[in-house]
Amino acid sequence: MRSKKSPPSLRVKKPIHSARGLKKIADCPQEPNEVQQASLKKPQGLGSTNFSSRLLRLLAKEPLDETQILHQLRLNEGERQKLKDLLEQLEQEGTIARIRKKQYVLPDVADLFTGAIQFHINGSAHVLSEVPGVGDLFISAENTFTAMHGDRVVARVATEQPDLGRNRGRRALQKEGRVIRILKRVNRTIVGTLQKSKKFHYVVADDPRFIHNLYVRPSLKAKEGDKVVARLDVWTSRHVNPEGTIIEVLGRVGAPGVDMLSIMRKHHLPEDFPADVLLQADQISTTIPPNEIHRRTDLRDHLIITIDPDDARDFDDAIEVQRTANGWSVGVHIADVSHYVKSKSPLDREAFLRGNSVYLPGRVIPMLPKTLSDGICSLKPHEERLVFSVFAEISRKGKILSTRFCKSVIRSAARLTYKEAFAILQRPPQTEIEHRVHIAWEVASLLRRQRFAQGALDLDFPEVKVWVDQLGHPVRFERIENDISHQLIEELMLLANELTARELKFHKLPTIYRIHEKPDSDRLLEYREQVLIHGLRVGDLSNRDELQRLLTSLRGSPYEPMLKVGLLKSLKRARYFPDPLGHFGLAKADYLHFTSPIRRYADLIAHRSLECRLGWVRGGPSQLLKVAEHISMTERSAADAEKEAIKLKKLEYFHDILHQKHPSSFRAIVLEVRNYGLLVELPELLVTGLIHLSILGDDFFIYDSARGQLVGSHSKAIHKAGDTLEVTVARVDFFKQQVDFKPL
């Protein structure tokens, strides 16, 4: 039952429909947003926002330098510094751009493109668009200037010309450009291995996207073969090797823990929490006071359960599903982190800086101290915990009949692992908990079928978990499938995320949404060419139904992993944004992240917005664009670090096999035939590698490009996509992060 003092929960008897725009409401006053705050900081003598408008109108006509702007806007010399500050601010925002002779211009007028640059292994890059609906800009390797991965740059868009050579396989008309200025060095450090020639010391970067050797001055602390961190000096020409200074020695290459420490330094991942953050965390009580329970909806006698991975410690979501006369009653309960992490506190500041938790093999870098993440916020079984609850009444046809949101207190009845839940779903239920798991799958499977019927894309991939020993050495790999136990939780979390997004959007409350914009038609056309090369029939991929049909046809085929990855690369990357632009991959108009506030800052923002909606606080989150950009960046860094760490452990595992007296063998599937060998995948380990033509066999093989196969001139043996081979390791290249195999 709920106390009379508790804020009323919100019930919506009809499905919530989307509303246009995001305006602040009178009953929830907000702090100045980012644009307003920026306006307040602008030079007061220049007329603030009005002056900015005048300046932009002026630059829309022609490029002007600082002095010309000063005169045309009739400013005096005393206002020159304020004008400089404003010009610098607008340039950093990408609103204006600086070109030759220190002239300023609007980017569109001069065909300029501002954004973060992301490099690829081959040295080329893309400048990511910051404008919804505008595609990214391709930069060839020779046109990257001195930019480094993640830098904020200005690029000049080249005139689109037919490309018949370098980018064979890309579209005939390619939107390309060249970097002309580095606006901001996001990363001034290089992590790598110290090497020595006869005359010079230099660092070979761990990141293969940084193709230059970094020349450094000798250091008494660093020896050849050490893993080091070096700070980059000023670098003005791509044709001259950069120089730098060693600032940290991480240890000898191959020493325990040095590999993970290198990844942490490379991606700027924090190690320890600041003292004031730990102090605040330690001061939080591990018991819930009675008056707090009295304010909330009491669900402690409900049969609520958690389902998580085997080694999980931070349980931030729990569920309860029951049958009703009309269908099902679904309750999703999420750890109430916002109750403990208050806005602008040391805990909040550090959580924002980290953006999310990072999961490396054998190590977790949490967003919150363990006192919270593994302690009072974690929904442990048989312990009282504070939660945000989302309730939904769902009909037998999957229609949302009503929704309700409230703050609650729960006591989880059981903690199940995915393996335990999967086993329960494979047999008739014997206990009340097992019965509830079966009921939960009934509604989750219905929601899943509906989601794909509405156009969602099936882009799920199996994952490989790396188990390491105490020294960080890989000892076992576990392939984790997205089975029905995972799908059960996934669908209920998607439901809670969508319902929360609808609620906040309908009431025009500022928050941060999870958006996935529609793909560029050019990128889809390029991907279609890749599909056709493999002999698959495919239509217009800008049609969602055709995309779904392609994904369905790929299931179980040898091309599935490679072409799914190719499609992902053709789609835009999901990110955080203050406006509800929808999620293309999930086919949802309204979507945000709400269900993992222990490990994602975006979810904490959504909780604070919902707190405002429920009347628990006055004044919701502010500076949302700045927050969204930052946590999108930290998410990318975390994903890159996790992916790199797993790949590194796989390479380490294969390197050990290479030196075994009796090397292990693996089943491999041929993904693609090329003129220099076979691209294969080890499905159990999700590793791709090459069998080079020179070690394929005692025969001379001829590449048949029309049929996509290699044919032995003497044996007439044929190698084609889909073939299964038994292979062992031939070579491991840690620098290029590649492994080659040879057939047994």
Q: What does the alpha-carbon distance between residue 321 and residue 409 come to, in Å, rounded to a whole number?
A: 17
Instruction: Kindly tell me if the per-residue pLDDT of 651 is higher than 90.
Output: yes
For 498-529, give the DSSP string. Answer: HHHHHHHHHTT----EEEBPPPPHHHHHHHHH
Domain layout of the chain by residue ranges: 112-184, 189-253, 275-518+572-649, 660-743
Q: Of 435, 378, 433, whose CA–CA distance to 410 is shortest?
A: 378
Q: What does the alpha-carbon distance between residue 744 and residue 731 come to, in Å, rounded to a whole number?
A: 14
CA torsion angle for 549, 550, 553, 554 (degrees, to 10)? Answer: -150
Average pLDDT, integer, range 704-716:
87
* Model pLDDT for residues 674-689, shown as the tens digit of each residue: 999 999 999 899 999 9
Q: Of 689, 686, 715, whose CA–CA distance to 702 is shortest?
A: 715
- Tell me the whole-structure pTM to 2 decimals: 0.84
Which H or E element spans position 727? Answer: strand 724-733
Q: What does the alpha-carbon distance between residue 46 and residue 268 come to, in Å, rounded to a whole number?
A: 38
**pLDDT given for residue 18 in this prediction:** 36
Least confident of 29-33, 172-176, 671-675: 29-33
**HSE-up of residue 325 (Cα within 13 Å, Cβ side):** 0
Least confident of 21-35, 176-190, 211-225, 348-362: 21-35
Domain at 660-743, CATH homologous superfamily:
Nucleic acid-binding proteins (2.40.50.140)
CA torsion angle for 14, 16, 20, 26 (degrees, to 10)? Answer: 90
Could you tell me the pLDDT band of residue 557, with boundaries at 50, 70 and 90?
A: confident
Residue found by looking up tokens 């950093």 in the block: 92
**pLDDT given for residue 244 in this prediction:** 95
Count of positions (residues) in the chain: 744
**Beta carbons of 482 and 459 less than 8 angstroms apart:** no
Could you tell me the pLDDT band of residue 1, with boundaries at 50, 70 and 90?
A: very low
Q: What does the alpha-carbon distance between residue 223 and residue 226 come to, in Å, rounded to a whole number?
A: 6
Instruction: Kindly tell me if the per-residue pLDDT of 21 is higher than 50.
Output: no
**pLDDT given for residue 8 in this prediction:** 38
Which H or E element spans position 83? Answer: helix 80-93
Instruction: Kindly tell me if the per-residue pLDDT of 587 is higher than 60.
Output: yes
Buried b (16+ CB within 10 A) or exposed e, 340-365: bbebeebbbebbbebbbbbbbbbebb
Structure tokens that stand for 444 in this block:
């989750």
**pLDDT given for residue 698 in this prediction:** 81
Instruction: Kindly tell me if the per-residue pLDDT of 539 is higher than 50.
Output: yes
Longest Cα pair distance anywhere in the chain, in angstroms? Answer: 87
Q: Which residue has the higher pLDDT, 1 or 399?
A: 399
Helix/strand/coil for 743: strand
The CATH architecture that domain 189-253 belongs to is Beta Barrel (2.40)
Instruction: Kindly tell me if the per-residue pLDDT of 694 is higher than 80.
Output: yes
Average pLDDT, integer, range 321-343:
97
**pLDDT given for residue 172 in this prediction:** 43
Q: Centre a 10 Å sphere on the Cβ of residue 307 and count the other Cβ atoms it contains.
A: 25
Average pLDDT, integer, range 441-459:
96
Helix/strand/coil for 740: strand
**112-184 and 189-253: identical CATH topology:** yes
Could you tell me the pLDDT band of residue 76, with boundaries at 50, 70 and 90?
A: confident
Residue 173, exposed/middle/buried by CB under 10 A (0-12, 13-18, 19+)?
exposed
Could you tell me the pLDDT band of residue 84, with boundaries at 50, 70 and 90?
A: confident
Structure tokens that stand for 31 in this block:
């702090």
In the chain, the amino acid numbered 194 is L
* Model pLDDT for residues 363-377, shown as the tens digit of each residue: 999 999 999 999 999
Q: What does the alpha-carbon distance between residue 336 and residue 339 come to, in Å, rounded to a whole number?
A: 6
Q: What does the alpha-carbon distance between residue 544 and residue 562 come to, in Å, rounded to a whole number?
A: 20
**pLDDT given for residue 101 in this prediction:** 65
Average pLDDT, integer, range 109-119:
83
**Beta carbons of 721 and 558 less than 8 angstroms apart:** yes
Least confident of 80-89, 408-417, 719-728: 80-89
Q: Work out the angle between the directed axes of helices 601-614 and 484-506 (0-180°, nearest 10).
A: 50
Residue found by looking up tokens 């840690």 in the block: 734
Please give the CATH number for the structural domain made up of 112-184: 2.40.50.140
Instruction: Kindly tell me if the per-residue pLDDT of 262 is higher than 90.
Output: yes
Average pLDDT, integer, range 706-713:
87
Could you tell me the pLDDT band of residue 16, with boundaries at 50, 70 and 90?
A: very low
Q: What does the alpha-carbon distance between residue 94 and residue 56 come to, in Å, rounded to a whole number?
A: 12
Which H or E element spans position 379? Answer: none
Least confident of 431-435, 486-490, 668-672: 668-672
Q: What does the alpha-carbon distance between residue 465 and residue 556 come to, in Å, rounded to a whole number?
A: 22
**pLDDT given for residue 609 in this prediction:** 97
Helix/strand/coil for 296: coil
Q: Which residue has the higher pLDDT, 366 or 72?
A: 366
Residue 195, exposed/middle/buried by CB under 10 A (0-12, 13-18, 19+)?
middle
Q: What does the alpha-carbon distance between residue 736 and residue 689 come to, in Å, rounded to a whole number?
A: 12
**pLDDT given for residue 159 in this prediction:** 62
Q: Of 62, 54, 158, whose CA–CA distance to 106 is shortest?
A: 62
Which residues have C-beta within 8 Å of that of residue 423, sequence separation ≥ 6?
Answer: none
Least confident of 50-64, 288-302, 630-644, 682-696: 50-64
In the chain, the amino acid numbered 644 is E
User: CA of 83: how far to CAs of 6, 29, 55, 74, 184, in Å?
Assistant: 52, 33, 10, 12, 20
Instruction: Kindly tell me if the per-residue pLDDT of 383 is higher than 70.
Output: yes
Residue 315 sits at φ, ψ, to 5 deg, of -95, 100
Strand partners, 192: 205, 228
Walk across the sheet containing 701-704 and list its strands: 701-704, 709-712, 718-720
pLDDT > 90: percent of the chain: 61
Strand partners, 499: none
